[in-house]
Amino acid sequence: MNAWTQGFPAEHCPEHHTPSHGWSSSHIIVTFRPQREMFLARSIAADHKDLIHDVSYDFHGRRMATCSSDQSVKVWDKSENGEWICTANWKTHSGSVWRVTWAHPEFGQVLASCSFDRTAAVWEEIVGESSDKQRGLRHWIKRTTLVDSRTSVTDVKFAPKHMGLMLTTCSADGVVRIYEAPDVMNLSQWSLQHEISCKLSSSCISWNPSSSRVHPPMIAVGSDDSSAVYSGKVQIYEYIDHTRKYAKAETLMTVTDPVHDLAFAPNLGRSFHVLAIATKDVRIFKLIPMRRDATHSSTPTKLEIQVLAQFDNHNSQVWRVSWNITSTLLASSGDDGCVRLWKANYMDNWKCTAILRGDGIPVNCSHDVVSQQSLLTASSAERF
Amino acid sequence: MEKMSRVTTALGSSSISGRTMFCHLDAPANAISVCRDATQVVVAGRNIFKIYALEEEQFVEKLNLRVGRKPSLNFSCADVMWHQMEENLLATAATNGAVVTWNLGKPSRNKQEQLFTEHKRTVNKVCFHPTEVYMLLSGSQDGYMKCFDLRKKESVSTFSGQSESVRDVQFSMKDYFTFAASFENGNVQLWDIRRPDRYERMFTAHTGPVFCCDWHPDDRGWLATGGRDKMVKVWDMTTNRAKEIFCVQTIASVARVKWRPERKWHLATCSMMVDHNIYVWDVRRPFIPFATFEEHKDVTTGIVWRHQHDPHFLLSGSKDSTLYQHMFKDASRPVDRANPEGLCFGLFGDLAFAAKESLISGDASRKPYPGGDRRYPIFFFKKPNPTEQFAHVSSALSVFESSVESRHMDWLVKTARLYLLSGKPFAELCDHNAKVAKELNRPQVSTTWTMLRIMFSDPANLSTPGPNHIGKLGTLPLMNSFSMKEMGTGLVAEGRLERSKGESRQDNLHLEPGNSLINSNNDENEETEGSEGQAEYMFGDAELDDDDLYSMEHENHAAEEQEYTLPQEAFPLRHEIMDNPSAPEHLQQDKADSPHASGNEAEVMCLTPIESFSLISISQPLFSPHLPAQFFCPVVREMLIHYAEQGDVQMAVSVLIVLGDRIRKEIDDLTQEHWYTSYIDLLQRLELWNVSNEVIKLSTCSAITCLNQTSTTLHVNCSNCKRPMSNRGWICDRCHQCASVCAVCHHVVKGLFVWCQGCSHGGHLEHVMNWLKSSSHCPAGCGHLCEYT
């Protein structure tokens, strides 16, 4: 058990957070918090044998999947008292597993993973069909392996639910593939619907989650290609109803450094889209679809692009970005080993509101103090 | 440091330098081998047998050993080996089963020296003894291994593996007499060269063929084997039983494996199919390659380290007819692109974070030498060995849980649960929702609800005669300009109200609120006659206002009082946020007064918005007798859009539902649908199924209401003949009787049907309940004592 962290104002330590239960493999630490945002760091003995590359919550936030270079995926379930318990652990690929992602629960308990071994796989949890007693009532079985890529599959994402059961992969040779399961009850049959060639080695993809019929399906692809120095590393593709193909709507030319992750913010009825990008800094873009006539539906929507924010506080490569469900908070993590939370005030000014360390030690570097100051001002803003 | 090692290790010959380079071959290569001093390389294949000199910048063809107009099959090589002691001596394994030795010192064009045609099938491998000049070993597809003394015409001994094909033979570095052989059935055998009758040891190394094996160059008794099962295994052969000490999982069957010189833990592999890359693995980290060479366009068939003491150059030949020299520093490092962190936001604001442990604890380890410290010359700064860093990695996984009192999503869930969207008069809904928002510490939202109530429950009229119309137009642009300036649209309306209040206040202060309302009611009565469509609403609202009026006059409703205090509490905030220079001063007075106000006064005070509003309607009879509800629609529309763009789709949808027809036409259907779907999705994520269902039910978009009906099928059976009913109505096709008739009133029940589980008679819930008050027998007269639970 870690003690209370130093430099923490005494009045900010509520009694009930004192670590009291004896769970040996985990400890609870209260990390730095600005005023009302208090985080308990619960460290979990993940017991992966190599790097963990991705963590993913399911739709309802009760399950978590981790994937690692040790070629396995683990599924964690939250118990009544809030502990995360590993309920499944199996070897998924014959190479590093880069990403793991959950399908919408409407389609069942379904995971997709992608790997260095050039494949992506779809897994489904089966309850009580196995005769094998050791595996227990629940176990995960492989429904399909997608083998179309000739290089490492770097990202896998399910499309938004309203599009049906669709899966997208991107690979190191710059090809984005969109698969569809025509029958949602049959997860072993996937047909390759689209192949988009991005020319640049792709590292990450993100679907625009908007369910509006005004917004055609849109996908953003990030590249970590370091050989093409001056080209834009984020491409945005849009589905054209007329040609039934995806066409490039935009390239973010200002992003020229390798992109490691990108994420569209939950749309929540907005008319525009917000895209967060993890490159050598954190960037937030606003993409405003311009009005267009129905007659020009054979070309992609024109997008007006605004930079909402750009932060280099990580002072290093940023590896991951993630939005909360109301898209009011953006979390980013970088090579500095910190997670930073970003929040906009009512003026659309984005500020850092918290810095979290993976081991729970509060951050006390000088430049961080500055951002702590600024977050105090930010937190007086109206909270949505 | 690396440069130094290169010079010292390469002392035996000239020092090695060069770059990544390649040359085209005439034909696909099957195997390559390098001479001892690393200056020349031999490439052998089905249609090629050449020697290239390795120069600084390029490969230079030195010699073509494939001579004669019609080369014999002896030239078709499966394997080649350059003797490591005798620099003129080469051996090849031919696909026709011949083992050939070549002497480069021969003056003639044909350098062939000896030919052994003892194997019956393809020879897969030839291997010279590392220290014995004349000893050559071969392994063939026919399952035999043969040992040749190059001074003799025939093999000196034959070893029978007593199994399928031999894929590889390798003399041990450690033990003079020992060699290892790998087989297609997955076994590895160890032989003593002096005992051809029986192998010393045998163990199963892989499932499926073992394509290759390689002894560790450092004399450790380690043997690496690679198989079709995509694995590379490292065996410790010094113990009695071969012990697997490392296992590397690659992504394709392993064709060749070669330990890297001078690097204890590294080995290079290439694959037999699918995968064209060459990987260098650190066996301690068996999951991710340490380095990758990705130049080849087809399967790599031969790999060899250029010099036995130089780890920086690797030569490779491929089916794509190229010969490459790879420089290690040009290799791609998959681990550099592999992302060391995972991050995901949970539903309730939890953050799951996995990171490489060295990143997290990075600061702690750097502490002794802070970045700015220049007391120690950089030279002494002990840099951790990159290969050591590579080998020892692990990730820490932690979940940051937002603590109970600041749960991010709590307000969203609570608001969704507590909001009332229907079932009560409009004003009550607004008041209730305002209260909910207030309690959840969201004053702006609360104020918005209050404003909505004021705007739309005011007994306003719809049809305004000509002159009034002008007045209305006059105020509209003013309002719009405000809404552009102000940030919170909820405040826009307030600001505007205060303004109009300021204008109208002076001359109307003497008026009682009661009077004003009565007046307005009169006005309304006069004018609603003309309008038909909205009359219903207007009437209902007017009634409400009367209620308000009464409760205010009697001032004894505790519940109402509570409600009325809401707007008052919302007041101070207005000023803080708004910072509007033109805000009327009297409001600050109000604010200052309110704490001292007695109960009665406070009540009047808090009603200011209502009061002032009704005041407007009376004080400006010349321009417009009332501000019609429609008047606010543009403002409200803008407000809803503002909320939606801010990401508070909950507010947008809730207001949309509560206002219903008052606002619906103002907002285009697609936008509404978008809001609904977004909000419903959010609710379902939070597992608020009831709320989500209510929203679906109350929505007016056809696309949304049908959500509840998808994949729902209702099967109805006739209660008389028990057959499935057609969908034609309430009469059964077959027995031509009405199904589900109420036993009490004998009419068809459409809606709630209650029936006794004992006799299956029943009917309208209300009728049956009434019946049961008087009798406990079945109303159908079947004599059953019915029980309803």
pLDDT of res. A358: 62
Task: Establish if B685 touches chain A: CB-CB under 8 angstroms.
Answer: yes
CA angle A244, A249, A252 (to 5 degrees): 150
Instruction: Confirm if B118 and B147 have CB atoms less than 8 A apart.
Output: no
Closest CA of chain B from A283, distance in Å: 16
Task: Establish if B403 touches chain A: CB-CB under 8 angstroms.
Answer: yes
Instruction: Confirm if A36 and A379 have CB atoms less than 8 A apart.
Output: yes
Give the number of other CB atoms < 10 A from CB of residue A14: 12
pLDDT of res. B769: 81
pLDDT of res. B407: 56
pLDDT of res. B585: 41
- Beta-carbon-side half-sphere exposure of residue B529 (alpha carbons within 13 Å): 5
In this prediction, the residues of chain B whose per-residue pLDDT falls under 50 are 1-13, 363-383, 460-625
Q: In what order do the strands lie in the sheet with A234-240?
A: A202-207, A218-223, A234-240, A245-252
Task: Establish if A57 touches chain B: CB-CB under 8 angstroms.
Answer: yes
| Model confidence at A339: pLDDT above 50 | yes
pLDDT of res. A357: 77
Burial of B556 (0-12, 13-18, 19+ CB in 10 A): exposed
Instruction: Confirm if B82 and B49 have CB atoms less than 8 A apart.
Output: no
pLDDT of res. A277: 95
Q: Which of A67, A94, A161 sits opposite B230 (nearest CB)?
A: A94
Q: What is the CA radius of gyration of chain B?
A: 46
CA distances from B706 to A185, B693, B703, B710 (A): 22, 11, 6, 6
Averaged over A266-286, what is the pLDDT?
92
pLDDT of res. B533: 38
User: Which pLDDT band holds residue A337 (cuts at 50, 70, 90)?
Assistant: confident
Mean pLDDT of chain A: 80
The identity of residue A337, as a single letter, is: G
For an interface test with B, the pick among A324, A328, A332, A338 (most B C-beta atoms closer than 10 Å) comes out as: A324
Structure tokens at B763: 């009917």
Q: Which of B337, B352, B356 sits opposite A57 (nearest CB)?
A: B352
pLDDT of res. B176: 87
pLDDT of res. B789: 64
CA distances from B54 to B37, B51, B315, B330 (A): 11, 10, 10, 18
Task: Establish if A183 touches chain B: CB-CB under 8 angstroms.
Answer: no
Quote the DSSP letter at residue B300: E
CA gap A53, A154 in Å, rounded: 11
pLDDT of res. B549: 38
Q: Given an 8 Å threshold on Cβ–Cβ distance, is A382 in contact with B412?
A: no
Task: Establish if A244 touches chain B: CB-CB under 8 angstroms.
Answer: no
CA gap B539, B548 in Å, rounded: 14
pLDDT of res. A321: 94
Name B94's bridge partners: B77
> Would the ipTM clear 0.85, i.e. be above it?
no
For an interface test with B, the pick among A5, A26, A50 (most B C-beta atoms closer than 10 Å) comes out as: A50
User: Which pLDDT band holds residue A292 (cuts at 50, 70, 90)?
Assistant: low
- Asked whether the CA dihedral B741, B747, B751, B752 is positive or negative, the reply is negative
- CB contacts under 8 A, B 310-369 vs A, are 334, 337-356, 359-363
Instruction: Confirm if B33 and B49 have CB atoms less than 8 A apart.
Output: no
pLDDT of res. B408: 57
CA gap A128, A132 in Å, rounded: 10
pLDDT of res. B698: 85
What is the interface size between A and B, counted as CB pairs within 8 Å? Answer: 268
CA distances from B580 to A378, B26, B575, B583 (A): 21, 84, 8, 5
- CB contacts under 8 A, A 272-331 vs B, are 272, 319-329, 331
Q: Given an 8 Å threshold on Cβ–Cβ distance, is B349 in contact with A44?
A: no
Chain centroid to CA A374: 26
Closest CA of chain A from B444, distance in Å: 8
Name A305's bridge partners: A287
CA gap B284, B274 in Å, rounded: 25
Quote the DSSP letter at residue B781: S
Task: Establish if B707 touches chain A: CB-CB under 8 angstroms.
Answer: no
Q: Given an 8 Å threshold on Cβ–Cβ distance, is B644 in contact with A270?
A: yes
Q: In what order do the strands lie in the sheet with B300-307?
A: B21-24, B322-327, B310-318, B300-307
pLDDT of res. B409: 64
Q: Which of B285, B398, B648 sits opposite A50 (nearest CB)?
A: B285
User: Which pLDDT band holds residue A209 (cuts at 50, 70, 90)?
Assistant: very high
Digit-coded pLDDT (tens) for B107-161:
888 888 889 999 989 999 999 998 888 899 999 999 999 999 989 888 899 999 8
Digit-coded pLDDT (tens) for B446-498:
888 888 888 877 554 433 333 433 333 333 333 433 333 344 444 444 444 44
Structure tokens at B304: 């060899």
Task: Establish if B677 touches chain A: CB-CB under 8 angstroms.
Answer: yes
Query: What per-residue string of b and e applies to B39-61 under the rule 16 or more CB within 10 Å gives b?
Result: bbbbbbbbbbbbbbebeeeebee
| Model confidence at A45: pLDDT above 80 | yes
pLDDT of res. B626: 54
Closest CA of chain A from B509, distance in Å: 35
pLDDT of res. A155: 95
Chain centroid to CA B408: 21
pLDDT of res. B786: 77
Please name the residues in contact with B375: beta carbons below 8 A apart, sequence gap of 6 or more: none
Q: Which residues in chain B are closer than 8 Å to A323, comparing Cβ atoms?
A: 345
Closest CA of chain B from A215, distance in Å: 10
pLDDT of res. B621: 40
Q: Which residues in chain A are closer than 8 Å to B353, comparing Cβ atoms?
A: 55, 333, 339, 356, 358
For an interface test with A, the pick among B251, B343, B440, B682 (most A C-beta atoms closer than 10 Å) comes out as: B343
Q: What is the pTM of this model?
A: 0.74
Q: Which residues in chain B are closer than 8 Å to A64, comparing Cβ atoms?
A: 344, 346, 352, 399
Q: Which one has a higher pLDDT value, A367 or B58? A: B58
Q: Which of A46, A329, A357 sits opposite B354 (nearest CB)?
A: A46
Digit-coded pLDDT (tens) for A102-140:
999 989 999 999 999 999 999 999 887 555 555 567 889
